[in-house]
Amino acid sequence: MRELTVDLGDRSYPVLVGAGARHRLIELMPQGARRAAVVTQQTIPWQVDSGVEQCVFFLDEGEEAKNLESVEQLCREFSRWGLTRSDAIVAVGGGVVTDVAGFVAAVYHRGIAVIHVPTTLLGQVDAAIGGKTGVNLPEGKNLVGAFWQPEAVLCDTETLETLPPREYRSGLGEMAKYAFLGVEGLRDMPLDEAVAACVACKAEVVAGDERESGRRALLNYGHTLAHAIETAGGYDLRHGEAVAIGLLYAAILARHLGRIGDDRVHEHEKLVASYDLPSRLPPGADPDQLIAVMARDKKATSGGLTFVLDGAAGLEVVRGVGEGAVRASLEEIRS
């Protein structure tokens, strides 16, 4: 079992990575909590024991459940059950569950403790770590949310054994991102070590920039186009698959802007292919629609689009990217 720490002073918390980590929940429950609201989904087979009175609350399936209606539903159900501010929420599931439950924890009674038990690879290496919570609007992903750090995160790698192959590969899309953030040798590590390496990278970034005023924005590498594809909808893509496309797109865009050369783009292509992930826009993708959605991204500015892009100094936030380069890069990644 590996134990890492997200160092935020008196709000620091542990992240446990390894087989059976979920069984450590009892010892990590907040002191004084009498009840635990366990938020999960019907299709998730994993159960947890909080050691206190608990009740299970189910979210609907899929990304569609990540909305304000789900937030209201959970808050009302918690209220009827009698959950108090001194109790806790336990989120058991993938990124949808931890994002929604984390946001509910931030707003219910103006803040209640939450512990995440991510059961997908994507959740363990990224979504459940760092305190970013939120839900989607029809106009875009994660446009309503809050920073709300958990009490602990339990990354039980046993839960990954039941993931469908495509869901597992989706997590590899987020893992690929960390390779470009400087985490070396991920493909050669045992699973526990690879998850822990990604967690360590994110924990270090979050500790230095909790609210994304600077370096934390680099964790969005590949996500600007990925979120646009997901918001546009109608495509059979998981989040990590969209991120994989977004990673290669960001490399192509960086080449258009003269920031990197062909060799670096090929490195992106090779890594995405090694994880058996898509590298081109889905058929029928509309560049005009994608550009319009990217312009509504919460990182966009009035002077142009904002992307995290590779360059001679590594990844950087680049603002004011002109539509010409954005459109030309979209055309290239369609072919």
| Catalytic (active-site) positions | 110, 132, 174, 202, 212, 216, 220, 223, 227, 239
Q: Copy the structure tokens of residue 248.
A: 């290669």
DSSP string of 261-282? Answer: -HHHHHHHHHHHHHTT---SPP
Burial class, 320, CB count within 10 angstroms (exposed 0-12 / middle 13-18 / buried 19+): exposed
**C-beta separation of 12 from 6 below 8 A:** yes
Three-state secondary structure along 141-193?
EEEEEEECCCCEEEEEHHHHHHCCHHHHHHHHHHHHHHHHCCCCCHHHCCHHH
Cα gap 59→62, rounded to integer Å: 9
Cα atoms in the Cβ-side hemisphere of radius 13 Å centred on 244: 27
Q: Return the sign of the alpha-carbon dihedral for residues 146, 149, 155, 156.
A: negative
Separation CA 205–CA 306 (nearest Å): 20
CA neighbor of 196 nearest in space, from 182, 183, 180: 183
Which pairing describes strands 13-18 and 2-6: parallel, antiparallel, or unpaired? antiparallel
For the chain, the first-to-last Cα distance in angstroms comes to 45
Amino acid at 102: G
The secondary element (H helix, E strand) that includes residue 2 is: strand 2-6
Distance CA 22, CA 18 (A): 9
